[in-house]
A and B are shown apart, each in its own frame.
Chain A
C-alpha cells in the first residue's frame, strides 16, 4: 500500500488530525475516491485544492497520474504564485 502523508493542516480537519496513513490506490483518481470513502469531503477537497507529490514529483490537477504500490504520496497545498 502506498504511504500517504499530509503537510496541510486543512487535511487534518477531515481526518481528525491523522497525518500519516496507508492507502490502497494506484492512481490519483483512485486515491481521491479512496480518500472520499474514508473521510467524506476529503477526496473532493484534495481534487480541487491540493497538489500531490508522488515519489518526490509534484502534480497538480493530474487525476490520471499513476504510482506504485510502495510509492510515497504527500498531500501539499497547491502552489501558485505571483
Chain B
C-alpha cells in the first residue's frame, strides 16, 4: 500500500482537473431532490403547528378527506408506534422515536412549525387547501425559548420523562437539561491561585442555520410487492434507509434509497424530515408522493445549530503560558435532546497544551426546532469564546496574538483533554505560515483592525465502501458510497487514477444507491476523502494486482516479474519476449483471462488525523451605521495533503464565508409569543458575494496523514471554527471594547460604539 509520504512522485493527486459535476450544475441538467417525477405522482403538503408548545387535543381530517383530489392524509399515529433504538446521525446517536416525532408530532407540538399532519393530493393547490381544512385542536402550554430560561427551576418542561443524564445520583425531578458533560484534569483551582494574569468573560452565540441552497425534497414510492424506493437529497442514502425503515417498521432490504444530486448540506442533511412522511403517504394511497420544503419550512422545521451561552476563564503566566482554564457551555438542543455540547467541550482547548482544565457542558431542550449537525458541530461556538478570551489575554500581556498561540500550541505527543494524543499535527507550522504571510505583515489603515483566531476539528474515518470497474476499452468507473457534497467524486477519481496509473480523463466516479454498493456512513465529519478514499485506493490496488496476474499469465512469466506503472504492465524477465500490455489491451481480453476486471472494498477506516486552522480577518466599521465590512481575509489550514487543491481551497473559503455570516448577521429571532420572526432569506441575512472580499487561502501540507495512502486529512469542517472569533476580535479592536455576543449586527455594534 502507498504510505502517504510520496508527494514528489504523484502525477494526478495534487493537480486541479475540471470538476466532473460542473457542467451539469451550471446547465441545470443536474437532478436534485425536487427534480424527480414519476407517473401518477402526487403532491404532498405538511400541516404545521402555529404554537411553540401545545398539547394536541384532536386532529379532525374529515373535511380535508372530502376534498376532491385528496388521496391520503397521515398523522404521527401512522408511524410504527414501536419504533425504538438509536441511529448514529449527524451530531451523534439519535433516538428513532424522537426522529419520528420530529417528522410528525405525537401528543404535543414542541415548536412553531412542528409537523402535525400531511396530505397527498393530485395537485399542489389541492394539497395546500386540504392542509387548511385539517382542524387541529390545541391546548396551548407555556413555552420557553432562551437556553438559560429553559435551565432555570420552574421553566416550562418539554418532556416530563426527561431526567438529566450524567448526574449521580439520578435527579428526582425532570428537567430541560438533557445531559451534563464534565471533563477536565489537573489542579485548576491551584493554578488559578498562582496565576499572574486571569481573563474571564461570558460569551453568547445565536442559533444559525446551515443555509444550504437546496431545500429538503424527496419522492417516495411504496411498491405493491413491499419493495419501496425513495429518491432524495441527503448526506447519506444508507442513513435515510435506516431511519425511514425503522420509523415505518420495515426491513432494510425492502427499501431502496437513491441519492440525488445535493445542493448543500453542511451537516443539516444528516437526518430525515420528509422521507418517512412521503413514504407513509404513498403506502396509504398506492401512488408515488413528492414532498418539498419551502424556504420558510426549512427555517421553521429543519435543524439549525445551537445557540449558546458560555463562561470562560483563563489563567496564564506573565510570559504568556496558559496554566489553567475553566469553561461552562450551555447549548440549545431544540425540541429534543442532542446538542453538540460534548463536542464543544472536547474541542474548546484542543489547539492548546493546557495542564489544568475543567469543562462542564449542558445539553438543553427548548421550544425551537431540533438542532442538526452543522460543520464541526459544537466547535465554532466554543472557539469563539476561547479565542476571544485569548485575544484579550494577548492584549493584557502586550503580546502578539500569534506568538501567544505559538507559545501554547499543541505539538505531537500532547495529550488532549478527551484522551487522544496529538499526532501528525501542523498547528505550529500553520501559525508560523500565517505570521510570515504578506497579509499579516501588511499595515492596517486608520479605522481598520485585524482579528486572529485558531480552530480545531477531529476529522473521522468509519465505514465506507467503494468499487472500481474496468471497462472493456480500458477506462474505469469508480462507484462511491457517499453523496458528493464537497467534491468527493473528483478526489475519488483522482486517487483511483493515481493508483491505476491512468490519466484522470479515463476515470469517472458515480454515487451508488443502497442496492448497488456496500454500506457507508454518511458524508460528514470530514470523512469521505479519508475513509471512502482509502476504500477506493484499496479497490484500485486489487485491480492492479489482478491486471498483473493476467499479464503474467499472458506472458507465461512469474508474477513477481510483472511491474505496473503509468497504466501499463511490463515484464522484468529478460528471458521473455514480452511486449508491454496497456490497461486497454488487458481490458479488451478480460473475457479470455478470467472475466470482468473489478473490485469492491468495504472497510472501517481508522487513523483519521485532526486538522487545525488559523484565520486572519481585517475589517472596518461604518461609524454611522455600525455595519462591519470585511476587507481582507486569509484562511490557513493544516490539510495533510490536498488531493484536489482547488476543492480544498473552496472548502476553506466556504467555511470562512459561513463563519463570517455567523459572526456578523445570522440569528434566529423569536418574539415573545415563541414565533420565529425571520424565516426567510430576506430577514435571515446570510453573506452574499458582494458582502465579502476574496478569501485567500494557505494550504499547509507539511504533515501528510501517514495513515492515508495519499496523506489526506479531512478538510471540510475546520474552516468554520476560527471565523467567529477572528471577526469578533477585529470588531472588538475597532470598537475598543470586547464584543462578546454574536451576531455583531450593526445595531449592536453601533450601541457599543456609542457607549465607548
Mark A residues whose CB is within 8 Å of B: 5, 7-10, 12-13, 16-17, 48-49, 53, 55-62, 65, 72, 74, 76-82
Q: Are A80 and B165 in contact (CB under 8 A)?
A: no
Q: Are A81 and B373 in contact (CB under 8 A)?
A: yes
In the bound complex, residues from chain A placing their C-beta under 8 Å from that of B268 are 82
Known A-B contacts A13-B165, A79-B458, A81-B267; A8 and B420 likewise in contact (beta carbons under 8 Å) = no
The one of B182, B346, B374, B375 that contacts A76, using a Cβ cutoff of 8 Å: B346
Q: How many residues of B contact A (CB 8 A)?
A: 55
Q: Are B526 and A60 in contact (CB under 8 A)?
A: no
Q: Are A80 and B423 in contact (CB under 8 A)?
A: no
* Nearest 7 pairs of A and B residues by beta carbon: A9-B166, A82-B267, A56-B421, A74-B419, A81-B525, A17-B168, A53-B419
In the bound complex, residues from chain A placing their C-beta under 8 Å from that of B375 are 81-82
Residue of A nearest to B270 (CB): A82
Considering the chains assembled together, what is the distance between the CA atoms of A45 and B270 in angstroms? 22
In the bound complex, residues from chain A placing their C-beta under 8 Å from that of B458 are 58, 79, 81
A-B contact count (CB 8 A): 131
In the bound complex, residues from chain A placing their C-beta under 8 Å from that of B181 are 7-9, 77
Can you list 27 A-B pairs with a CB-CB distance of less than 8 A?
A: A7-B181, A9-B181, A13-B170, A48-B86, A48-B93, A53-B418, A53-B419, A53-B420, A57-B607, A58-B420, A60-B461, A72-B419, A74-B420, A76-B418, A78-B93, A79-B346, A80-B377, A80-B524, A81-B373, A81-B457, A81-B524, A81-B526, A82-B90, A82-B265, A82-B266, A82-B373, A82-B377
Q: How far is the CB of B57 from chain A (nearest CB, A)?
A: 35
Q: Are A79 and B717 in contact (CB under 8 A)?
A: no
Known A-B contacts A61-B604, A79-B458, A81-B267; A10 and B166 likewise in contact (beta carbons under 8 Å) = yes
The one of A13, A61, A79 that contacts B525, using a Cβ cutoff of 8 Å: A79
Beyond A16-B169, A62-B604, A65-B606, 13 additional pairs, beta carbon < 8 A: A8-B342, A9-B166, A10-B165, A13-B166, A57-B420, A61-B462, A61-B463, A61-B604, A77-B342, A77-B346, A81-B90, A81-B377, A82-B91
Considering the chains assembled together, what is the distance between the CA atoms of A80 and B463 in angstroms? 12
Q: How far is the CB of B52 from chain A (nearest CB, A)?
A: 26
Q: Are A78 and B88 in contact (CB under 8 A)?
A: yes
Contact string against A for B residues 228-251, beta-carbon threshold 8 Å, 1 for contact and 0 otherwise:
000000000000000000000000
Is B399's CB within 8 Å of the partner chain A?
no
Contact string against A for B residues 518-551, beta-carbon threshold 8 Å, 1 for contact and 0 otherwise:
0000001111000000000000000000000000
Residue from A9, A17, A55, A60 having most chain B Cβ neighbours under 10 A: A9
Q: Are B419 and A9 in contact (CB under 8 A)?
A: no
Is B321's CB within 8 Å of the partner chain A?
no
Known A-B contacts A7-B418, A53-B419, A56-B415; A12 and B463 likewise in contact (beta carbons under 8 Å) = no
Q: Are B524 and A82 in contact (CB under 8 A)?
A: yes
Q: How far is the CB of B534 from chain A (nearest CB, A)?
A: 15
Residue of A nearest to B527 (CB): A81
Considering the chains assembled together, what is the distance between the CA atoms of A28 and B375 in angstroms? 30
